[in-house]
Amino acid sequence: MEYYCNKHIPMCKEKLGDALKDVAVEKGVSGPEPGSEPAYIAMGHLYFDSIEDFQNSFGPNAEAIQNDIPNYTDTKPIIQINEVKM
């Protein structure tokens, strides 16, 4: 989490520029039962005004951003694009 929050996310902010509106990082602490493992060890949320803003900023920087992943995890990330409704 330290590398992710202090190195990876700041690098993403720098590369994605003004298109990136906000970031949230969540650390999984438990599953539904007390003491159970969380489904995900972490979630990173990158917020953009539109899918086009995401594509236009992420596309040219995808290689650099994705090449940094082994520096903070050996798991394969699950990537999902959502639309915030509330």
Burial class (CB in 10 A: 0-12, 13-18, 19+), 44: middle
Whether residue 16 is contained in a domain is answered as yes
Report the CATH number that the domain containing residue 58 is assigned in CATH.
Answer: 3.30.70.100
d(CA 86, CA 54): 19
Whether residue 79 is contained in a domain is answered as no
According to the model, what pLDDT value does residue 32 have? 96
Whether residue 81 is contained in a domain is answered as no
Range of the domain at 66: 2-71
Whether residue 78 is contained in a domain is answered as no
According to the model, what pLDDT value does residue 80 have? 95
- Provide the CB-side half-sphere exposure for 63 (13 A, CA): 1
Mean pLDDT of the chain: 96
d(CA 86, CA 83): 9
pLDDT tens readout for residues 8-31? 999 999 999 999 999 999 999 999
Distances in whole angstroms, Cα of residue 15 to Cα of each of 1, 28, 33, 50 = 20, 26, 39, 17
According to the model, what pLDDT value does residue 33 have? 96
pTM comes to 0.90
Whether residue 26 is contained in a domain is answered as yes
Whether residue 85 is contained in a domain is answered as no
